[in-house]
Chain A
């Protein structure tokens, strides 16, 4: 502070003091800049710039904050603020398509939803009218059958991994293969089911149950992983208590371990169903598509919601509007089913998970 002291030390000390006290942006700096940016967006929209350009402009305005910080606070804090801005932008960037998808599907799909849409098939329908009854039936049957196949296999595999396979090479091999199986492309699962059914039924086979087999290939690894995590969470004391009472191992597993983990298992299975119910590619290959209702999994082509939406978009017919409307309606129904399943899964795990114990 005084001018008599040698020149090197005091500035350094002042630097430190400034860093701690004076050279800081006001705490409301971020709020001020974001406020200005929002104002720019509103002005842009009002001024006829269009929402997309206004948002980009507003986003560019927020870069004033790191610049301001650079002038006042120095480069380290400016970098920190810049990264904070970028990280928040990344999250916003991820939300834009999600909002856009939901908005597009709801706004285009909602008008057609009605009693006719759910109760009519597409048999002999040209142009307007018709519905998704056949596709709804097919989706429920095929996914239901896939669940019936996958749940026992997945649950018993996870029981093997957790209860019997401790430290065995077979168990670690299975675990690894389940991980690899998670990465099988859905279309490859479809080709596998087709190749399998061709062996028994000859070339060109199309069958609902084939779709179920293909979906099972995709679903089993998800079920195994979910159930395994849940079974691992069951405290060992419960097993030991049961053994101490002389309960056989299989009764311990079926009466103590699985019921304790049931909420988590149900959640995992629901999420697995949600994952495969929207699959299109394997069903397109093995289950094919038809305009009529088919209740028999073992006989002939079967329509499903995703394939219905796909084929309506692909081959909309001569006045394309009606088919496209139906495709968006089917997409909306599918989206609602998936969201509903996710919601159920969260609710189950929230309501029935054991509380206060670990």
Chain B
């Protein structure tokens, strides 16, 4: 901080041209990120508004915007929530396995293996979903219809191709599993060592230690991990577009051949052939998706940030 020159009235450090340019570049890059995010919202709104206000006979769907986008929102939420319900318990188990149950030296390797699931491109998930998973699910759906058909979720008739919203939810669950696992794993590893040792010293079994020391510490982290996974599942496009045989209905029936579509899949399927105001309607539905994921991610981040204040030993 101190300079070797004689002290003078100047209190600010020397600003060389290089410094100014470099600071300008850095600041500009940071500003550009602000602008990009604002740009996403603004451009989608500008291009989307004509689609929202379009009259039914001007767009391909032949409907007003709200009745058009409503079933899509429903399908998006349904698939993502089921995916989250499937993925989160498994992810917690896997994270606990890697952080506390697996031999310590193998833990990192197992972590990489699970991370590989995140590296698989979504189009590969989609292809696998069609070629392998859907076929495997057909007899299961048939069994569900025969034996649990009285539950509205499994009312059937069972799909003969297996390309249902439930299959999609399984694929989505696989895709968000590595993200949720990674976050849970980090938080489990951060649990204060003293809490764990104290629980074990009092005679707790390993499970009781996890229940008494790890989970209370990690609760908000698990919640936010689940919500980040939900956000990812909401926006996932290709796997849904490829696997689902959609027909734009609103139904809780998970195994029938008629399934609600999702916003993202609908855009991907309709966009290449769309023209005119239909494009604007699709962009507007993209804006709806953006708002939904923004809210979910915002909430997740807020939980993480709140947790920072309470973390540690207090």
Contacts and interface: CB of A to CB of B under 8 A. Distances in A.
| A and B held together in a complex | yes
A5 interface: no
A118 interface: no
Given A203-B279, A249-B22, A310-B242, A187 B286 contact: yes
B93 A89 contact: yes
B97 A90 contact: yes
B16 interface: yes
A97 B238 contact: no
A105 B27 contact: no
Contact of B120 (A171, A187, A253, A338): A338
Interface residues on B, range: 35 or more
Interface string A317-340: 000000000011001001100110
Q: B30, B39, B93, B128 — which one has the most chain A CB atoms within 10 A of its CB?
A: B30
A342 to B, nearest CB: 5
B174 to A, nearest CB: 5
B243 to A, nearest CB: 11
B309 to A, nearest CB: 14
Given A84-B101, A157-B33, A249-B22, A180 B301 contact: yes
Interface in B27-54: 27-30, 32-34, 36-37, 39-40, 43-44, 46-47
Contact of A188 (B26, B228, B272, B290): B290
A183 B101 contact: no
A177 B237 contact: no
A204 B125 CA distance: 29
Contact of A153 (B32, B181, B207, B290): B32
A178 B271 contact: no
B96 interface: yes
Contact of B44 (A89, A186, A191): A191
Contacts of B82: none
Q: A101, A195, A253 — which one has the most chain B CB atoms within 10 A of its CB?
A: A195
A72 interface: no
B177 interface: yes
Given A165-B30, A281-B264, A91 B97 contact: yes
Q: B25, B127, B131, B289 — which one has the most chain A CB atoms within 10 A of its CB?
A: B127
B285 to A, nearest CB: 9
Contact of A253 (B22, B32, B293, B296): B22
A176 B128 contact: no
A215 interface: no
A80 B128 contact: no
A110 B159 CA distance: 31
Contact of A327 (B90, B112, B127): B127
B205 A79 contact: yes
Contacts of A179: 297, 301
B110 A91 contact: yes
A90 B242 contact: no
Interface in B135-194: 136, 174, 177, 181
Contact of B207 (A79, A174, A246): A79
A339 B119 CA distance: 7
Contacts of A100: 128, 132
Q: A164, A176, A331 — which one has the most chain B CB atoms within 10 A of its CB?
A: A331
Contacts of B89: 90
A316 to B, nearest CB: 12
Q: Is the interface of A mostly helix, strand, loop or mixed?
A: helix
Interface residues of A, number: 98
A220 interface: yes
Contacts of A105: 124, 127-128
Interface string A21-40: 00000000000000000000
Given A77-B205, A93-B90, A185 B235 contact: yes
Contact of B297 (A52, A97, A183): A183
A226 interface: no
B244 interface: no
A217 B41 CA distance: 13
Given A101-B120, A184-B290, A334-B121, A178 B26 contact: no
A156 B301 contact: no
A174 B34 contact: yes
Interface in B284-314: 286, 289-290, 293-294, 296-298, 301
Interface string A95-136: 101101100110010000000000000000000000000000
A91 B94 contact: yes
A80 to B, nearest CB: 4
A275 B119 CA distance: 7
A220 B33 CA distance: 8
Contact of A94 (B21, B23, B90): B90
19 contacts: A90-B92, A90-B96, A91-B97, A91-B110, A98-B116, A98-B120, A100-B132, A164-B26, A174-B34, A180-B301, A183-B296, A185-B290, A191-B283, A198-B47, A248-B18, A281-B122, A281-B241, A284-B272, A285-B267
Given A87-B96, A280-B237, A346-B112, 13 more contacts: A80-B206, A83-B207, A101-B128, A104-B128, A156-B30, A174-B30, A183-B293, A183-B294, A184-B290, A185-B235, A198-B47, A281-B122, A284-B268
Interface of B: 4, 14, 16, 18-19, 21-23, 25-30, 32-34, 36-37, 39-40, 43-44, 46-47, 89-90, 92-94, 96-98, 101-102, 110, 112-117, 119-128, 130-132, 136, 174, 177, 181, 205-208, 210, 228, 231-232, 234-238, 241-242, 264, 267-268, 271-272, 275-276, 279, 282-283, 286, 289-290, 293-294, 296-298, 301
